Amino acid sequence: MKAWLSAVVVAVGLVLCAASTRAQAPTPAPAPAPAAAAAPTGIQRIAFIDVQRVLARSAAGVAAREQLEREKAGMQKEMDGKRQELEKLRDEIEKKGALLTPDARRDKQELFERKRRDAARLADDFQKELEKKESGLLQKVLQDVSGVIEQVAKERNFYLVIEKRGGGVIYGAADADLTDEIIRQFDRQAPKQAPAPPKKP
């Protein structure tokens, strides 16, 4: 599940930069929160979030990972069937090979090699498909959460919000970490989704 993290960081960085730029538009700002009022004059408030934690703990992130696991389980089941078919054919060649004519044995061996190549291609296709679905689901979560990040940042009067890992944060005060607040707000705003119907066999 790590292949998407670099894309995640880039995507979130772009979203947050856009959000901070829009935050500077000459629109009436909401009344600053007490924490913002306490900040010394002239100091811009900066916060950070941990996107990995949002994806791991938010309801939408958990649902996305569960969907990926279901997809992966279906693919694994099909690959297990291919593996068992190959093992059966290999055992047949090894145990009955001496009783077969040279032509029949060669045909069986060629069949085994063809099925082995097909299984390898299928495994590669499944891997690519899973990565594509993973990227799509996680990008959808990030797109949805970006609006929540912008909303919370404006309400709390933050000038800039950066991603903890991609932003290279070495130190951050606890009250500058918006992650848990983002997760709570994201979960509150998420539409209640009915459970997906089971797939027909």
Domain residue ranges of the chain, discontinuous segments joined by +: 10-23+44-189
Please write down the HEC assignment for all residues of the chain: CCCCHHHHHHHHHHHHHHHHHHCCCCCCCCCCCHHHHHCCCCCCCEEEECHHHHHHHCHHHHHHHHHHHHHHHHHHHHHHHHHHHHHHHHHHHHHHHHHCCHHHHHHHHHHHHHHHHHHHHHHHHHHHHHHHHHHHHHHHHHHHHHHHHHHHHHHCCCCEEEECCCCCCCCCCHHHECHHHHHHHHHHHCCCCCCCCCCCC
Q: Residue 53 has what pLDDT?
A: 87
Q: Residue 164 has what pLDDT?
A: 81
- Below-50 pLDDT ranges, the chain: 1-42, 193-195, 198, 200-201
Q: Residue 167 has what pLDDT?
A: 66
pLDDT per residue as tens digits for the range 106-134: 888 999 999 999 999 999 999 999 999 88
CATH annotation of 10-23+44-189: 3.30.910.20
